[in-house]
Copies of this chain bind each other. A is one copy, B any other.
């Protein structure tokens, strides 16, 4: 039985923003029976149903001998990889059987062979709500876990405090804001278009939001929307926004730092107000969600099953159809064209 297997390979390192030239979409004939027969001990053959593309991947599109970072660079000529969902077609792992739906960290292709260790969770199991596959990459996915860790574990929120979130209509920001509202915070967000700002207030329940492309004197707008100062800043963008925030933070404020999307392509804004960290005894905590999986992932699922799936929690996602559309979806996401979580349906 011969089918086609399409893969997306890392072709070249971007200079500045990524372009389609940095991706190689290749299709080849795929013999499912032969692949099943060739499977070795502890390996699993998956048919992928959904893939996730995320901004951190831009950081992995670098030279193998470049600066060290928290994640390894992708290898030129090899498939990209990320979080995805698939169905087990054939298993030589004792933990999985044919038909299992699983979430894992997997290469980008229609059919992929992974080690059992790459699978992080079986999702069609008794006692757990029967949810669409993409929910495990979206509302219950890595960006939501990032939101949970940054706001609850590191932000240490207290009801009545003011939370400001940048890139608030993104995959992480929308969840940060909604968790914040459920914890009794005043929640203020920034985003890059009027459409997104509208979504923040009408759909996600933010108390206030502004378009940073329109209100370029960020400090002034933020001061107006945060009359009691900022207690927690969930940092996603860096640059001028962060610099303005420092001047408005309250004493003993917390800044979980999750991303600086404005600086991923090598911008060079110089932060001038860092001295506020001392006078206001601010805590800045840089973090990568994966460091917190072991200690907090179960609590995250518990919280989300209880609060995130109660029907009042909104979730926006942008879906691109077909693995061959990953390059354009990724590039669009880095330019802020997506709303909410960017997903790929295979």
Contacts and interface: CB of A to CB of B under 8 A. Distances in A.
Interface of A: 59, 69-70, 238, 242, 251, 257-260, 263, 268-272, 274-288, 291
Contacts of A258: 278
Nearest to A283: B285
A250 to B, nearest CB: 10
A277 B251 contact: no
User: Sorted from nearest, which 5 A-B pairs have the closest CB atoms?
Assistant: A270-B270, A277-B286, A284-B284, A271-B271, A278-B286
A284 B283 contact: yes
Contact of A279 (B69, B238, B280, B285): B69
A59 B287 CA distance: 32
5 contacts: A59-B279, A238-B274, A242-B274, A263-B275, A280-B286
A260 B257 CA distance: 22
A69 B277 CA distance: 11
A291 B270 CA distance: 30
Given A269-B270, A270-B269, A270-B270, A70 B281 contact: yes
A282 B242 CA distance: 17
Given A281-B287, A286-B278, A269 B269 contact: no
Nearest to A276: B286
Given A238-B274, A260-B274, 17 more contacts: A69-B279, A70-B279, A257-B277, A258-B278, A260-B278, A269-B270, A269-B272, A271-B271, A274-B274, A277-B284, A278-B288, A281-B285, A281-B286, A281-B291, A282-B286, A283-B283, A284-B284
Contacts of A251: 70
A278 B286 CA distance: 4
Contacts of A287: 278, 281
A166 to B, nearest CB: 13
A260 B277 CA distance: 10
Contacts of A269: 270, 272
A319 B315 CA distance: 65
A274 B272 CA distance: 11
A97 to B, nearest CB: 37
A296 B187 CA distance: 35
A217 to B, nearest CB: 18
A69 B279 CA distance: 6
Nearest to A291: B281
A4 B240 CA distance: 55
Contact of A280 (B70, B259, B270, B283): B70
